[in-house]
Amino acid sequence: MSFGETMKALSDPVRREILTLLKGGRRTAGDIASNFDMTAATVSYHLSQLKRAGLIFEERDRNFIYYTLNASVLEEVLLWLQSLKGADEREKE
């Protein structure tokens, strides 16, 4: 996972909506797909991009695949963004 891949994954509104859905807890691919008006293959593509970027985890349980949010990567992004803001705040003092 690279920072560039993470930012690219976050730039897509569908992927951000998937992350918002996962904020409520783990979900199956079918459950995630039911929230969108697109093919299952398209949702699967978005899930693979989020997984490649390290933003979600995939867990197989019998015949289902569950996805969960990887909060640690999001925390790294937030810390980086806050560090940019922090530099501006320090300059004002």
Q: How many domains does the chain have?
A: 1
pLDDT band at 80 (very low <50, low <70, confident <90, very high): confident
Give the distance, in angstroms, between the CA of residue 79 and the centroid of all CA atoms in the same chain: 16
pLDDT in tens, 51-60: 999 999 999 9
Structural domain that includes position 40: 3-92
The predicted-structure confidence for 1-16, as pLDDT tens digits, reads as follows: 577 888 888 999 999 9
CATH classification of the domain holding 57: 1.10.10.10
Question: Does residue 91 register a pLDDT over 60?
Answer: no
Say what the pLDDT of residue 89 is: 55
CA 45 from centroid of its chain's CA atoms: 13
pLDDT tens-place string over residues 23-77 = 999 999 999 999 999 999 999 999 999 999 999 999 998 899 999 999 888 888 8
CA-based nearest residue to 60, from 26, 32, 33, 34: 26
What confidence category does residue 87 fall into, taking pLDDT thresholds of 50, 70 and 90? low
DSSP letter at 37 equals S
